[in-house]
Structure 1
Amino acid sequence: MTTQAIRTEQPLLSVKDLKIRIQMDNGEMKAVDGVDFEIKKGKTLGLVGESGCGKSLTSRALLGINPKECETSGAVLYRSATDQPSEQLNLLSLDPNGKQIRSIRGRKISMIFQEPMTAFSPMYTIGNQIMEAILIHRTKNKKEAKRIALDMLGKVGISDQEKRFDQYPHEFSGGMRQRAMISMALSCNPELLIADEPTTALDVTIQAQVLELMRSLQADFGMAILLVTHDLGIIAQMCDEVAVMYLGKIVEQAPVKELFYNPKHPYTKGLLRSMPRLGGNKSKRLESIEGSVPMPINMPPMCGFYDRCKDRIEGVCNVRDVPKTQISEDHSVRCFLYSDPHGGESQ
Structure 2
Amino acid sequence: MRAASPLPGARKALEVRNLRVGFPTEEGMVQAVGGIDLEIERGRTLALVGESGCGKSVTGRALMALQPKHAEVSGEIWLTPGRQEAQLDRRLRASSENGSFNLLQFKPGGKEMRHVRGGLISMIFQEPMTALSPLHTIGDQIMENILLHRTKNRKEARSIALEMMERVGIGNAQRRLDQYPHEFSGGMRQRAMIAMALSCQPALLIADEPTTALDVTIQAQVLELMKQLQHELGMAILFITHDLGVVAETADEVAVMYLGRIVERAPVRELFRNPKHPYTKGLMRSIPRIGGVGGRLASIEGTVPLPLNRPPMCGFYERCSERIEGVCNRQDVPESDAGPGHKVRCFLYSEPEKKGDNPHE
TM-score above 0.5: yes
1:322 matched to 2:339: no
The root-mean-square deviation of aligned C-alpha atoms, in Å, is 1.3
Q: Is it true that 1:31 corresponds to 2:42 in the alignment?
A: no
Aligned pair partner of 1:309 in 320, 341, 347: 320
**Distance (whole Å) between structure 2 residues aligned to residue 141 and residue 191 of structure 1:** 23
CA distance in 1, matches of 2:204, 2:195: 14
Q: CA shift at 1:30, angstroms? A: 0.7
Contact 2:82 2:99 in 1 (8 A): no
1:20 and 1:97 map into 2 onto residues whose CA distance is 17
Give the whole-Å Cα distance in 2 for the aligned partners of 1:295 and 1:162. 49
Match of 1:296 among 288, 307, 321: 307
Q: Spell out the pairing of 1:85-124 with structure 2 (5 A cutoff).
A: 86-124=98-136
Cα shift at 1:328: 2.5
Matched-pair identity in %: 63
Q: 1:257 aligns with which of 269, 275, 280?
A: 269
| Counterpart AA for 2:150 | R
Distance across 1 between alignment mates of 2:101 and 2:231: 26
**For 1:4-55, what per-residue CA distance to the aligned partner results, in whole angstroms no more than 9, with x for missing partners?**
xxxx944111000000110122111111001001010000000000000000
In 1, Cα distance between equivalents of 2:143 and 2:167: 15
Q: Which moved more, 1:116-125 or 1:260-269?
A: 116-125
Q: Secondary structure at 1:337's aligned position in 2? A: coil
- How far apart in 2 are the matches of 1:79 and 1:220? 18
Question: What is the one-letter code of the residue matched to 1:36?
Answer: D
Superposed CA offset, 1:219-263 (max 9, x none): 121111000000111111000000000000000000000100011
Q: Distance in 2 between matches of 1:182 and 1:78?
A: 21
Partner of 2:12: 11
Structure 1 equivalent of residue 46 of structure 2: 45
Give runs of aligned pairs for residues 109-258 of structure 1, distance below 5 A: 109-258=121-270
Structure 2 CA distance, aligned partners of 1:280 and 1:121? 45
Task: Flag structure 2 segments of 5+ consecutive residues without an equivalent.
Answer: 1-8, 86-96, 355-361
User: How far off its partner does 1:67 sit?
Assistant: 1.0
Do structure 1's residue 273 and structure 2's residue 285 form an aligned pair?
Answer: yes
Selected match of 1:287 from 288, 294, 298? 298
Counterpart of 2:70? 69
Tell me the residue number matched to 1:5.
none
- In the TM superposition, residue 279 of structure 1 has moved relative to its aligned partner by 3.0
CA distance in 1, matches of 2:223, 2:70: 33
CA contact (8 A) 2:107 2:113 kept: yes
The 3-state SS of whatever aligns with 1:332 is: strand
What is the rounded CA distance, in whole Å, between the counterparts of 1:217 and 1:133 in structure 2? Answer: 18
Separation of aligned partners in 2, 1:287 and 1:329: 29
SS across alignment from 1:301: coil
- Structure 1 residues 116-169: Cα deviation after superposition (integer angstroms, max 9, x where no partner): 111111111000000111111111111111111111111111101121111111
Where 1:318 maps in the other structure, the secondary structure is coil
Count of residues in Structure 1 that have an aligned counterpart in Structure 2: 335
Runs of 4+ in 1 over 6 A off after TM superposition: none
- Write out per-residue CA displacement over residues 182-202 of structure 1, whole angstroms, 9 at most, x where no aligned residue: 000001111111000101111
CA distances 1:59-109 after superposition (whole Å, capped 9, x unpaired)? 111110111121100000111211468332100110111111111111111
SS in 1 for 2:35: strand
Structure 1 unmatched ranges of 5 or more? 1-7
| Separation in 1, partners of 2:224, 2:288 | 22
Residues in 1 aligned to 2:249 and 2:33: alpha-carbon distance in whole angstroms: 27
- With structure 1 as the length reference, what TM-score do the two structures score? 0.94
Q: Please tell me the residue identity of whatever aligns with 1:275.
A: I
3-state SS in 1 of match to 2:33: strand
For 1:4, the equivalent position in structure 2 comes to none
- TM-score of the superposed pair, with normalisation by structure 2: 0.90
Rounded to whole Å, the distance in 1 between the matches of 2:192 and 2:171 is: 11
